[in-house]
Amino acid sequence: MKAKKKAIVPPAAPENSVSKQLGDFHVIRHRQFRDLFNLTPVFLLLLLLIDWLMGGGSFTRDTFRLTGVLTIVILLFTIRVLFDRVPDALATIWERDLIKPKGGHDVQEKYLSFLDQFGKVLNGKEAWILGAVCGLGGLAATYPVQYFLKAGEFPYDFGNLVAYYLWGHGSIIAGVLGYLVGLLIWRIGVIAWFVRKLGERFDLAIQPNHPDKCGGLKPLGDLSLITAVVILIPSIYLAIWGFVTTFFENPALELYIVLWSGLFRQWLIILAVLALLAFLLPVYEIHLQMERRARKIRGELDVLSQKIDEISLELRTHAYTLTSEQGEEKLRLIEFMKKVYAENSRVPTWPFDWKTIAQFASAQALPVLSWLGTSGPLFEIIKAVLSFTSK
């Protein structure tokens, strides 16, 4: 019997190294911490439900605390969207062939090195240090500490103070959340920094006619928008409460007016400036590259417009020497070149469109209006209007 021939199986195509590395890319590398982060918003909502059904209502019957926790939940969900978008954005611009090397180096090797450094810095030990600092800051923001800073003494004795933090109001969670926020702040800052580094380390091949109207780079602009929104979410919370504690006299809010009203306006300014910087600075180097590309395209369009003018002049001055077929051909050529000119005349110079700008401006509007409304002449005008309507 003849031996059966073994089927020849062609070797599998090597997997794209960039795609493989991006498939394993996580803003939060440690699986346990990633799961904890993903479950924290659900855990906070569950705590609110327990407090409402079986607890003393420390949060659910206190509007200030309730809205604070809900703001944190929304913030964590938004940060999760940002973290999920990072590898997708990096993969998209690679798959669109927009990454080009500087200095003639191998682009894949250089991009892999960039991704490796990005992942290491995201999960560096500096994140844990910042987390510890923010954890202490969270505890410093609780009522007993704030009371101590104002009055020079704690409002409770030691036993009641321990009870306040551990089971009475459960304020120890402020330190835990502060620690978590510190870890997240580090990662958000690193994302913004490496988006900027992307524009510094690589030449980006802009596609002027890409359907996203941003040269194909809209995924990077979206990252900047979400980063800015992450900062604006607590800013909007402060804006609302800054307005309430300024214009509405309510005995239930007296504690917050004494402890917090001054901080609200200060943080509004800080967060508004940080949001603007987070929106523009990460993509500024990319903007400069897009601007240079736009100038080159405008120069090419100027040459095209000169050609259109030359052919139009020829038609005007030599129409009587041309046959009808020659004239029709030149007219078709002019129409064709005009369409090419119109199609390429709107060259994007930022990796986001007007819709994205409008979204950022609308989110920024409330904090800015709240800050303006609680200061200067507007304060007196609004106060007079509220006094008139309350009569």
DSSP label at 8?
-
Sign for the pseudo-dihedral over CA of 197, 127, 109, 93: negative
Cα–Cα distance for residue pair 153/145, rounded to 1 Å: 9
User: Domain map of the chain by residue range?
Assistant: 37-287, 293-344
Segment (H or E) for 326: helix 324-344
Provide the pLDDT for residue 9: 45
Q: Looking at residue 389, what is its pLDDT?
A: 54
CA-CA distance, 305 to 150, in Å (whole number)? Answer: 71
pLDDT in tens, 174-227: 777 788 888 888 999 999 999 999 999 998 888 888 899 899 999 999 999 999
pLDDT < 70 stretches in the chain: 1-16, 55-56, 103-105, 152-154, 157-165, 167-171, 245-265, 373-391
User: What pLDDT sits at residue 91?
Assistant: 93
The reported pLDDT for the residue numbered 252 is 60
What's the pLDDT at 168?
Answer: 61
Phi first, then psi: give them for residue 322, nearest 5 degrees: -95, 145
Tens of pLDDT, residues 89-127: 999 999 999 998 876 668 888 999 999 999 999 988 888
CB 279 within 8 A of CB 352: no
Nearest Cα to Cα of residue 209 among 354, 342, 356: 342
> Please, what is the angle between helix 218-247 and helix 63-95, to 10°?
170
What pLDDT is recorded for position 74?
92
Using CA atoms, how far apart are residues 340 and 302, in angstroms rounded to an integer? 12
Q: What is the pTM of this model?
A: 0.80
Position 13 scores a pLDDT of 37
pLDDT of 249: 64
Cα distances from 299 to residues 330, 347, 353, in angstroms, run: 23, 12, 23
Distance separating alpha carbons of residues 169 and 301, to the nearest angstrom? 67
Looking at residue 179, its amino acid is: Y
The pLDDT assigned to 11 comes to: 44
Buried b / exposed e over 244-258, threshold 16 CB at 10 Å, is bbbeeeeeebeebbe
SS3 of the chain: helix, strand, coil, percent, to 5: 75, 0, 20
Q: State residue 258's pLDDT score.
A: 57
- State the Cα–Cα distance between residues 88 and 220, nearest whole angstrom: 10
Q: What pLDDT score does 306 carry?
A: 93
